[in-house]
Amino acid sequence: MTERQLPPVTELGMASLALIVIGGIYLSAHLPRHVPLGPAIGLLAASVLLLVGNMLALSRVRDFAWDRFFEVGKWSLLAYTAIAGMIEYAFLRDHIRGGALVVLTLSLVVFAVHVPMLVGFTVARYAGADDRVAA
């Protein structure tokens, strides 16, 4: 099966998720001590950059099944927003405050946006020619 040349959305998405996972492990590995936030902020910033880069790269693709992408992406976004909301609630119940809460909340935002994007992209890239429209 021959595949079209598309930006490396999946690879960049996985790298972005890996960075926030490393940040989360770094923060939770220090519990309950005070943890320097510098490394976690750096990892989060790199993850956000990859997310933005991924969005830009994907938005430039022509002849792509955007209807499929948004159809699947919006339901995934709903599911992952609910999941991220529950995790956020657990953070608040566990009395996480201040900088650590901000870093973890923003990490959840990256997670809740990037995973649906990967699901939508994977579905749309294998859509038939009829589903594709020029950007």
* Interacting residues with another protein (CB under 8 A): 1, 10, 13-14, 17-18, 21-22, 24-25, 28-33, 68, 72, 76, 90, 94, 111, 115, 118-119, 121-123, 126, 128
Cα(114)–Cα(49) distance, integer angstroms: 12
CB of 25 to another protein, least distance (A): 5
CB of 14 to another protein, least distance (A): 4
Count the Cβ atoms, other than its own, within 10 Å of residue 7: 16
Q: Is the distance from CB of 28 to CB of 96 less than 8 angstroms?
A: no
CB of 34 to another protein, least distance (A): 11
**Per-residue exposure over 73-88, b if at least 16 CB sit within 10 Å of its own CB, e if not:** beebbeebeeebeebb
Residue 34 or 62: which CB sits closer to another protein?
34
Residue 33 or 62: which CB sits closer to another protein?
33
